[in-house]
A and B are shown apart, each in its own frame.
Chain A
Amino acid sequence: MEVWIQAFANLKAYAPGGAGETLLSVPEGTTLQELLERLGIPPTVEVVALVNGKRAAAQTPLASGDRLTLFPPMEGG
């Protein structure tokens, strides 16, 4: 299946397309946690992960066409 990924700030370094939204092929049933590992994001790097604009648990299985947004926790605006 394919999912869309867009990452920001320091997490861009782990996203396949760098800047911009990128389509990535992953095995059916891949969970959010597995995807983050597949991208090579070390466990010490903090990630806020949204699936289709909503916070998702690490064990959430992804569905084809899902849009993932990854950004670091932010200290404010």
Chain B
Amino acid sequence: MYGWCGKILRVDLTHGRITPEALDPGTARDWIGGRGFGIHFLRKEVPPGCDPFGPQNKVVMATGPLTGTAAPTGARYVVTTRSPLTGAITCSNSGGYFPAELKKSGWDALIVEGVSPEPVYLWIDGERAELRPAAHLWGKTTHETDDLLRAETHAEARTAVIGPAGERRVRFAAIMNDRDRAAGRAGVGAVLGAKNLKGIAVRGEGEVALADPAAFKAANAKYRGRFKEKTRDNPPPLRLHGTAITVVGTQSHGVFPTRNFREGQFEGWEAIYGETLSRRFLVRPKACFSCPIACGRVTRVPEGPFQGEGEGPEYETVYALGSNCGVDDLAALTRANYLCNELGLDTISMGGAIACAMELFERGLLPEAEAGMPLRWGDGAALVELTRRTGLREGFGDRLAEGSLRLAARYGAPELAMVAKGLDFAGYDPRGEQGMGLAYATSPIGGSHMRGDPAYFELLGVPVAADPHSWEDKPPLIAKWQDVFCVIDAAGLCVFFSVRYLVEPDLWIRPVGITELLNGATGAGYSPEEVERIGERIFNAERLYLLASGFSAKDDTLPPRILREPMPSGPAKGMVCRLEEMLGPYYRVRGWSPEGVPTRETLASLGLL
């Protein structure tokens, strides 16, 4: 096969068996890879009702045909499993260098199953793979583990590991690859912890074979050329200041979540946004494999109580650990970010849980004696200490480790968890960004922005601008964007480049450039329409798995704060999210029943019957 390696590595932890399997060409063509492979194998092999921490759950770690190629941002892989945070599916996506290395080692995907009786790690050296004891790594941070794994295997190996948070089954623990890149959302790291798998080290020196090298090269040159041309007069803001520059877009539109989504503008925004980060802590920008943007931030807090070095913060972290907790101390939130990376925690859900705890405390629902300290809005030292305690499940951190929804429910106020399907929102308040409300409510993994991100057109002017306050026009747009994001996640690409340069530059983002690159790599001869249908197939398959897991239309909802409490101030003042008005038309556009179930006709047209 071309583009695909044609091989999957099955890792049975219960019996310590590693089995290479051929990738079925039909499966490859129908699901592309990455997120598509994830849901394909999950539906086939993992019972929807099973315990996410139990031996029946599996973890699919899948690259796409463009991962590891010269395609711009061909750096990504997707981790799909049942989520211990939400009880539903999660598919979490990461870049860096590990995914490309995995692909170059000759494997399209890993399927990790069972539970190892003892801690182990997986060492993949090209064609050869083995499980090795990891008792000596248990308890180590992600950075320490990365150092030790590379010392034991190969100095240039790439790693994906869990930290103490994953070992302790913190429900939003991440899998950290290349030290500071995260497959962060909804507890994929906790699932590896439950399986006693500390991590994976991989070394791959092969090259991805291309079906039509000339066509691939031409497509690559064309789209990289488009980037070069555009950026001649428009230096990428993400390279200049990292994703934290996005604060400008959310703050100015009044949708920058502040103090657990009570407000949409943060008075301390200038202290924590990207330009301030550049001025105070930036050491250098950092790019993932084959990426021309370089949005990553290598940073250092040079002095003071929060001194340290590492990577970040990203926009989502600046929101979650910053404005959403009322924290305007950039050093404190950067330090909390470093801790999340080292302990292996999702910064978004960490911030969501702390913000929720702060609101519970401020309302008198959470006694100080239980919290172990006063939890005042804006307390940077508390933020850092709570992050540490959560990663280690120490004291009150043990409660935070259960996630914001379980925390809020425990103190009698589940409505204070700012979640959809149990997953904490990203940094966009849907009251002033209507499409985002629909995206959160219908995302197959819960409150994620990365399953069809309308912030691009609602706030950031990419590829073109649309009105963030309108709702009537959003249902078909959100469906379209969700499908194209499935394609991006299946191909092995990064959204940041793809939505601007690999799609038709209008609101309907037809994946023309992605199709050209996929065809050059795989020789599959896809039409853009076929690729779009695959995106729709992936999204519907995830929906079916969600429904089979016990979710229904009643779960396509948002907290009462978003639906009924008008935004108190700013450009979105007086607005609530008009989700009810959007859901019916959205189900119709999707070919789903009024109960949110894909109809037989829809499933038949997508080959899902």
Interface set of A (CB-CB < 8 Å, partner B): 8-10, 19, 42, 44-46, 48, 50, 52-55, 69, 71-77
Query: Given A53-B254, A77-B314, does the pair A8, B248 have CB atoms closer than 8 Å?
Result: yes
Contact of B462 (CB < 8 Å), options: A44, A45, A55, A74: A74
Q: Which of B294-348 contact A (CB under 8 A)?
A: 295, 314-316
6 smallest CB-CB distances across A and B, nearest first, come from A53-B571, A77-B246, A77-B315, A73-B461, A48-B461, A75-B496
Residue on A nearest B235 in the bound complex, by CB: A10
Q: Give the distance to chain A from B551, nearest Cβ to Cβ, in Å.
A: 27
Cβ A74 vs Cβ B237 within 8 A: yes
Residues of B within 8 A of A45 (CB): 233-234
Interface residues of B (CB under 8 A from A): 232-238, 240-241, 243-246, 248-250, 252-254, 275, 293, 295, 314-316, 427, 453, 455-456, 460-462, 465, 467-468, 495-497, 499-500, 570-572
Measured CA separation A54–B300 after assembly (Å): 36
Give the complex CA separation of A42 and B234 in angstroms: 11
Contacts of B232 in A (CB 8 A): 44
Contacts of B314 in A (CB 8 A): 77
Cα(A9)–Cα(B295), bound, Å: 14
- Contact in complex: A54, B237 (CB < 8 Å): no
CB <8 Å contact, B275 and A9: yes
- Evaluate whether A76 and B460 lie within 8 angstroms (CB atoms) in the complex, with A42-B233, A52-B571, A54-B571 already known: yes
The answer to whether B254 touches A76 (Cβ under 8 A) is no
Chain A residue at smallest Cβ distance from B456: A76
Given the complex, which residues of B lie within 8 Å of A48, measured CB to CB? 249, 460-461, 465
Give Cα A30 to B278, complex, Å: 34
Q: Is the CB of A46 within 8 A of B461?
A: yes
CA distance in complex: A50, B459 (Å): 10
CA distance in complex: A8, B232 (Å): 17
Indicate whether A73 sits within 8 Å of B460 (C-beta atoms), given known contacts A9-B241, A48-B465, A50-B253. Answer: yes
Name the distance in Å between B7's Cβ and chain A's nearest Cβ.
32
**B residues in contact with A50, CB < 8 Å:** 252-253, 571
Q: A46-B234, A74-B238, A74-B460 are in contact. Are A53 and B252 (CB under 8 A)?
A: yes
- From residue B494, how far is it (CB to closest CB) to chain A in Å? 9
Nearest-neighbour CB distance to chain B for A50, whole angstroms, equals 5
Which chain B residue lies CB-closest to A52?
B571
Within the complex, the shortest CB–CB distance from B323 to chain A, in Å, comes to 13
- CA gap between A44 and B235 in the complex, in Å: 12
A10-B237 contact given A46-B461, A74-B245, CB 8 Å threshold: yes
Please give, as numbers and ranges, the residues of chain B lying within 8 Å of A73 by CB-CB distance: 234, 460-462, 500
- State the CA gap A52–B497 with chains docked (Å): 30
CA distance A44 to B252 in the complex (A): 24
**Complex contacts, A52 vs chain B, CB 8 Å:** 571
Q: A46-B234, A48-B460 are in contact. Are A77 and B243 (CB under 8 A)?
A: yes
The CA-CA distance from A73 to B499 in the complex, in Å, is: 12
- Structural contact, B253 and A76, CB atoms closer than 8 A: no
Contact A9 B460 (CB under 8 A): no
- Cross-chain contact of B240 among A9, A46, A69, A77 (Cβ < 8 A): A9
Distance, CA A53 to CA B314, complexed state (A): 23
Residues B467 and A55 in contact, CB atoms below 8 Å apart = yes
- By beta carbon, the residue of chain B nearest A42 is B233
Contact A72 B237 (CB under 8 A): yes
A71-B253 in contact (CB<8A): no
Nearest-Cβ distance from residue B113 to partner chain A, whole angstroms: 34
Q: How far is the CA of A48 from the CA of B460 in the complex (A)?
A: 7
Contact residues in A for B499 (Cβ distance below 8 Å): 75-76
B456 CB contacts on chain A under 8 angstroms: 76
